[in-house]
Structure 1
């Protein structure tokens, strides 16, 4: 904790004590990362004396998230570590499933299902259901729905295999955590440490699960109670790229072109390199194939990649399974919409095929440099202009009644009425800039 409001801090402490079986709860350790608010001084020290299992450790210098949590691991006496942000609330029955899963496999890292607590009203709301943790090529964490390939085979009580966890709450065997080296202390202040730890666990022989029958509420604040530099976050993400992505780090640099320098000083990597050697950690290609195949690799000729979102409707382009090789517009979140790559030579690629036009409809075809209908230009005002220089991809209601007037994409004049112009505007998840020599 650092300068945590009194109400949310006590909510965290009281919920842990009240909702944890006494025979499982060995101790509660609060790491105060040099708070300077008056009520977090002597008033907090006196208040916490009423709880025999609670200890308070004060740092004399700012440590940041990673060093603070590692400090807690070194002084802890329990067999299992459960890390909580200082603005969380644990639910009844939250702890038993966690320790049971770790008891069965000491190399399992557990995340409870994360619910939300309103930052203004402190109202508790259920949030996670059939979701897991992932990350993007920017190396920012994101929640995502369970892929269809695994959703059909699970029941509501099955653990969810998750490629990543979010740092606000997770549990791990203490000895296993220390053997892995703890959180990366070469990172600065806050941010991306959960993604790095997730990659390390998976690639070095462990696994991660989310337990929906264990629920913990968390306040997702609109800002930070302490200063977090964007440069520090980029520093942390660049360390991940250099440590774990292997040849795929060029995608990270292409995403962050102009923001991250390959020659930047990212600190000493020898500790992590030693862990990789000692634990015989796998390569990132293994992780992509076995843990997160949904993280599609953009073609190295891409200048744009990811979900193509319409500016007017906020819907994204996806393949329409009802009509072969055709497209429709659907919500962007999830796996229904497609990742699309706009290449340097003007192709719009969906995996190994290209988007062209037939009778003004946009259709998917085998890629061919001889098919002029597959040539596109992304203009300065975010239009996808066809080869004729007059027609643009536009979100429309299908004029064919047989389709139920689905929301789809067609070629329409680029110059349309002002109120309709945004239906021709598109944004991609990533703008990419690969070196020319790749």
Structure 2
């Protein structure tokens, strides 16, 4: 016999209420019990939470990504905290943990269709060590609030042996109360492992089909996860990076980020941002198609868990932090995968000028030693450029890389020359297909042309310094007659009635710098027919261009 509708509704309500009470009373954050009681009611609970968060309308400091300014009285506390945290925690503590942020996506993204029931679900892995409580929780809330339940298996917090008391029982209690369905859980490393090994540990503990690594000071925006899962559903070997929006470290204001950049690297093994090359722009059919990138910044990425372990996870021989992003970038491309930026996925990130929590050793060069492991395993003969810049590392121990070399052979990976030719053809190779590569020395003074530690990103004046074993004194004259370094091209500048040589970023000009030629022992600026001249210069002076003559100050040795 059919019960009256009102009675049926009461029974359904009681059933759902009982289910949720069981969840709250039985679940412990680090157990597997969630799987034993998973049900339609649980899915309905998560869906209701997700839909409610999308419609949340609350006024308060920092809402909609607005800047938060502190008072003069709060400035004293800020000045103390900023040294420890690297960002304005006084402002952060004023902002709701689940604030709304602006949608910075391209308009085309908002019309994309996603079959989310067909896509894999992700474990969002967040590594932290003594991180500010509000930064961690705002990251967590943004992920849970803006991820359709079908696509979010769990948020996995990986505590790399923090010592701050609020990150133990108080954090556990907050998560238990706020997320009774155990969608967020904490695992802790047995000892301080560093970011790289903690990521491996987190990946081993994760249960989702896809791993998404986020820093613990992020905010995921609306629609961030769907395009990542869609692309991995299409291509399991695609390693993906969301577009990174900027969260101000001083006011917590949420700004848009770039969408026209890719990752590169310098021969000193540092990540760089570069413009999307013309050939990649032509390959893409729309402005929201994935953008192929040679490298990634590394903190924020999505990867199939199966593929992650298939290609060797991270290098466990690397210590703490540094170089792992380039190592994975090279390995992914050389071993059959691809690295892509996804324009419709946007995540905000607080960029800090310092590493506020420090490293176990203040003298050990973690980035340098880790980078040497990368060079030895993946860069083949091109590691010569790394060592030309980092001669200091030649006699430093870097651990056993035999297992990583064995992995490369097992996966039948491409050589680094393939990567440069097929993935990063715009990368300038200093000594290939050039007229000259080496030092340029004036014998009468023993001065060499020298970059004088100028900032390659901003540009700098070319100078002279006593000749020494330094990469600052290595220059290339290209087949197209550019005088350049790895990143900078020489042009003439007229300053105070003097003609000097300025090294501008090679990407900042359509012509790529002025043309020079070697004429006997002279170095000539072709457009003006002026010669490099050291007359009257002291060590550290800016080089001049003068009318060509037979003086010794214009004689140069070109030492390869």
TM over 0.5: yes
| 1:23-422 superposed matches below 5 A | 23-49=150-176, 50-51=178-179, 52-152=182-282, 154=284, 155-228=286-359, 229=362, 231-257=365-391, 259-260=392-393, 262-299=394-431, 301-303=437-439, 309-311=459-461, 317=489, 332=505, 334=507, 336=509, 356-358=524-526, 360=528, 380-385=539-544
| 1:14-25 superposed matches below 5 A | 14-25=141-152
Larger deviation: 379-388 or 67-76? 379-388
Distance 1:264-1:339 versus aligned 2 partners, 3 A rule? farther
TM-score with structure 2 setting the length? 0.60
Q: Distance in 2 between matches of 1:376 and 1:241?
A: 38
Deviation of 1:138 (Å): 0.7
Question: Which runs of 5 or more structure 1 residues have no equivalent in the other structure?
Answer: 321-327, 349-353, 363-372, 392-412, 415-435
Distance 1:382-1:160 versus aligned 2 partners, 3 A rule? farther
1:431 is matched with which residue? none
Distance 1:59-1:359 versus aligned 2 partners, 3 A rule? closer
Larger deviation: 300-309 or 73-82? 300-309
Is the 1:318–1:338 contact (alpha carbons within 8 Å) kept by the matching residues of 2?
no
Is the 2:231–2:238 contact (alpha carbons within 8 Å) kept by the matching residues of 1?
yes
Q: Distance in 2 between matches of 1:39 and 1:128?
A: 35
Give aligned pairs, total: 368
Higher share in strand: 1
- Of structures 1 and 2, the one with the larger relative CO (CA 8 A, separation 6+) is 1
1:366 is matched with which residue? none
Distance 1:45-1:254 versus aligned 2 partners, 3 A rule? same
2:12 is matched with which residue? none
Secondary structure in structure 1 of the residue aligned to 2:153: coil
TM-score with structure 1 setting the length? 0.75
Secondary structure in structure 1 of the residue aligned to 2:149: coil
Distance 1:250-1:317 versus aligned 2 partners, 3 A rule? closer
Question: Which runs of 5 or more structure 2 residues have no equivalent in the other structure?
Answer: 1-127, 440-449, 463-486, 493-500
Deviation of 1:77 (Å): 1.2
Secondary structure in structure 1 of the residue aligned to 2:151: coil
Larger deviation: 14-23 or 228-237? 228-237
Distance 1:288-1:212 versus aligned 2 partners, 3 A rule? same
Q: Distance in 2 between matches of 1:102 and 1:27?
A: 18
Deviation of 1:310 (Å): 3.4
RMSD after superposition = 3.6
Greater Rg over alpha carbons, structure = 2
Higher share in helix: 2
